[in-house]
Amino acid sequence: MDLVSIRMITADLERLRRFYEQVTELSVTMYTEDFGELKTAGCTLALGSTRTLQFFGPDVARPAENRSAIIEFRVDDVDAAFDRLLPLIEPTLVQKPTTMPWGNRSLLFRDPDGNLVNLFTPLSPEARARISR
């Protein structure tokens, strides 16, 4: 089994698409006006509008209500990413780049729907080994 995608439902797909394109410097491929994917080497972040919920039934998911998951992206230099993104993320900044006890340097902020986003760089040999596939 292989985890290949995380899907987020949003009431404002265009806003979320633009945000993640700015953060990752990657393009979201839109397959319909209600569904797109941001593909990275390790996983895909799928973005769906609330209209996609009609296929699953009522109250399956509610946009902008996540308070437990963190969307994580490994970056080469978290401090450089912080400098580049500060104008975009400053209003929702949770934690400036900080070296965590498990060996990652981490930056935490919220996306426009309030989801937590972590950009991190593994610093210690143990952290790098944990991340390598």
Over residues 26-71, the pLDDT tens digits come to: 999 999 999 999 999 889 999 999 999 888 877 788 888 888 999 9
Find out whether 108 and 116 touch, Cβ atoms under 8 Å: yes
Q: What is the mean pLDDT of residues 3-28?
A: 96
Structural tokens at position 99: 């070296």
Question: What angle, 0 to 180 degrees and rounded to 10, lies between the N-to-C axes of helices 78-89 and 13-24?
Answer: 150
66-133 belongs to CATH 3.30.420.340 = no
The 10 Å CB-count burial string (b at 16+, else e) for 23-50 is bbeeebeeeeeebbebeeeebebbbbbe
H-helix or E-strand containing 23? Answer: helix 13-24
CA distance 1 to 45: 18
CA distance 119 to 39: 16
CA distance 29 to 56: 22
1-58 belongs to CATH 3.30.70.20 = no
pTM for this structure? Answer: 0.92
Q: Where are the domains of the chain?
A: 1-58, 66-133
Check pLDDT > 90 for residue 132: no
Q: Do domains 1-58 and 66-133 have the same CATH topology?
A: no
- 97 pLDDT tier (thresholds 50, 70, 90): very high
